[in-house]
């Protein structure tokens, strides 16, 4: 202990020790001062930014009113748009998106024409190349909402953007605009999924109407189960019912159970007077989800031939399949061609799934 104290006393007398101590204390003090200044400046900037934002929102609101009702002073608005800075541009776009949400078709057309006159479309197209991904995505959303078809080439370029968020914003925008020039690239995203959400691309293709039909038909032959599943829904939505039923019935023999289930479900969305043979046979599929979809879809076809298949499905070992069969029998009993026979069979049947479906029907749930 005495030797340690002696050593400490000796070190403390050395000049370098005190110099180092003073330097460390000075560094800590300067670090605290720098941290204090950083926090103070940051809060000051946030305060100034909030005040500028509020002031700009008050200024921009009446200009948006002009846009929504038809441009009255294009020169004034054009000059203001050109003066928008990095803070104001995203605020202006966000406020415009909020106004366009509930807007009518006439109001959207007036806004689009006004923005074209003022050069705002060019500003938005230029913003698609901003460094920040959120700015590129916001520009894409705005162009899509206003339906600026002149922006389609620039938006298709964003389909290969490094940010998935931007790519999906561009997909949604192209779907809203509905220009067929985007079809080849959207088709590639659909048939080779991964770069954008499959549901987002699917919705964009649906927005293109009949033009998307060849894409969905090609998707039915895809090597990827997920693409074939989505294509079943696309075919049901894009094709004429008679043609869609032929395509979908073929998919009931697909090796993947999830694809067969999708085909069976979508056949219920394009019903006809005659039940497809494949759909009736699907009520005996080894995969429960296929049987469940099949018995649900049979309730949409006004065909008495569905009756024996649905009655048999009341005894299905899967509870949900049996319940769906009971609900389909109740729905089928309301249809003109099959209703008489089905109602007679319902009166003679006491299976629990049917009784449950009748209770639900009395509550308006079937």
Looking up residue 128, the CATH number of its domain turns out to be 1.25.10.10
In a domain, 256, yes or no: no
In the chain, the percentage of residues whose pLDDT exceeds 70 is 90
In a domain, 140, yes or no: yes
Q: Which band of pLDDT confidence, cut at 50, 70 and 90, is reported for residue 117?
A: confident
Number of domains in the chain: 1
pLDDT value at residue 64: 76
Q: How far apart are CA 137 and CA 165, in angstroms?
A: 7
In a domain, 131, yes or no: yes
Structure tokens at 311: 């009655």
In a domain, 128, yes or no: yes
Q: What is the pTM of this model?
A: 0.79
Range(s) of the domain holding residue 167: 119-196
In a domain, 124, yes or no: yes
Q: How far apart are CA 345 and CA 305, in angstroms?
A: 13
Q: How far apart are CA 215 and CA 235, in angstroms?
A: 9
Q: Which band of pLDDT confidence, cut at 50, 70 and 90, is reported for residue 119?
A: confident
Residue 280's nearest CA partner among 254, 247, 255, 313 is: 313
Residue 261's nearest CA partner among 326, 321, 339 is: 321
In a domain, 233, yes or no: no
Residue 88's nearest CA partner among 126, 49, 145, 119 is: 49
In a domain, 178, yes or no: yes
In a domain, 132, yes or no: yes
Whether the pLDDT of residue 310 is over 90: the answer is yes
pLDDT value at residue 40: 65
């Amino acid at each position: 202990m005495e030797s340690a104290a002696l050593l400490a006393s000796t070190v403390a007398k050395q000049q370098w020790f005190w110099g180092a101590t003073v330097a460390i204390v000075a560094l800590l003090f300067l670090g605290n001062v720098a941290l204090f200044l950083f926090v103070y400046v940051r809060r000051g900037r946030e305060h100034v930014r909030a005040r500028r934002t509020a002031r700009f929102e008050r200024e921009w609101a009446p200009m948006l009113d002009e846009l929504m009702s038809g441009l009255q002073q294009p020169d004034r608005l054009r000059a203001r748009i050109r003066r928008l800075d990095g803070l104001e541009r995203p605020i202006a776009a966000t406020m415009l998106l909020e106004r366009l949400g509930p807007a009518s078709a006439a109001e959207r057309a007036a806004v689009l024409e006004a923005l074209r006159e003022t050069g705002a479309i060019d500003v938005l197209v230029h913003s698609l190349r901003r460094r920040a991904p959120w700015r590129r995505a916001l520009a894409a959303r705005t162009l899509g909402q206003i339906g600026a078809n002149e922006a389609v080439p620039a938006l298709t370029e964003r389909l290969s953007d490094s940010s998935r968020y931007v790519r999906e914003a561009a997909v949604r925008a192209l779907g809203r605009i509905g220009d067929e020039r985007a079809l080849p690239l959207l088709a590639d995203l659909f048939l080779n999924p991964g770069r954008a959400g499959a549901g987002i691309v699917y919705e964009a293709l649906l927005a293109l109407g009949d033009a998307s039909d060849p894409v969905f038909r090609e998707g039915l032959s895809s090597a990827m189960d997920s693409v074939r599943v989505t294509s079943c829904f696309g075919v049901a939505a894009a094709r004429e019912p008679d043609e869609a039923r032929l395509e979908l019935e073929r998919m009931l023999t697909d090796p993947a159970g999830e694809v067969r289930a999708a085909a069976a479900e979508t056949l219920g969305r394009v019903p006809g007077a005659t039940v497809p043979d494949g759909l009736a046979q699907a009520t005996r599929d080894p995969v429960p989800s296929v049987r469940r979809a099949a018995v649900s879809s049979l309730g949409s076809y006004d065909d008495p031939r569905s009756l024996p298949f649905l009655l048999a499905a009341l005894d299905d070992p899967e509870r949900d399949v049996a319940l769906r069969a009971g609900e389909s029998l109740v729905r089928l009993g309301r249809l003109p061609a099959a209703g008489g026979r089905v109602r007679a069979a319902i009166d003679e049947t006491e299976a629990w799934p049917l009784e449950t479906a009748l209770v639900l029907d009395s509550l308006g749930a079937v």
